[in-house]
């Protein structure tokens, strides 16, 4: 897994309503090529999103917490190199 770097794009969803957040996040996930990723910035722990992502795309993504609250959560989501 590649570490997060200054060139890893961020997706800050804190100002969006929840329904818009999930749609935007899953659109971004669908666009990822193997080895690519982004840092999700949220105002709460997005753990339910992890479970949904894992259910729909088992073992195809890494999920790395970079910051865990209490006001901001940052999670790097990266598509595994061998994933489809």
Structural domains in the chain? 16-79 (3.30.110)
Is-contact 18 61, C-beta < 8 A?
no
Q: What is the pLDDT of residues 21-74, one digit of tens each?
A: 989 999 999 999 999 999 999 999 999 999 999 999 999 999 999 999 999 999
Question: Can you give the pLDDT at residue 5?
Answer: 52
Contact 39, 74 (CB under 8 A): yes
């Amino acid at each position: 897994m590649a570490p997060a770097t200054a060139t890893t794009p961020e997706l800050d969803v804190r100002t969006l309503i929840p329904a818009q957040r999930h749609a935007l996040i899953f659109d971004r996930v669908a666009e990822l090529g193997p080895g690519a990723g982004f840092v999700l910035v949220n105002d709460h722990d997005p753990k339910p999103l992890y479970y949904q992502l894992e259910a729909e795309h088992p073992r195809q993504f890494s999920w790395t917490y970079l910051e865990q609250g209490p006001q901001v959560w940052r999670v790097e989501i990266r598509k595994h190199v061998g994933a489809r």
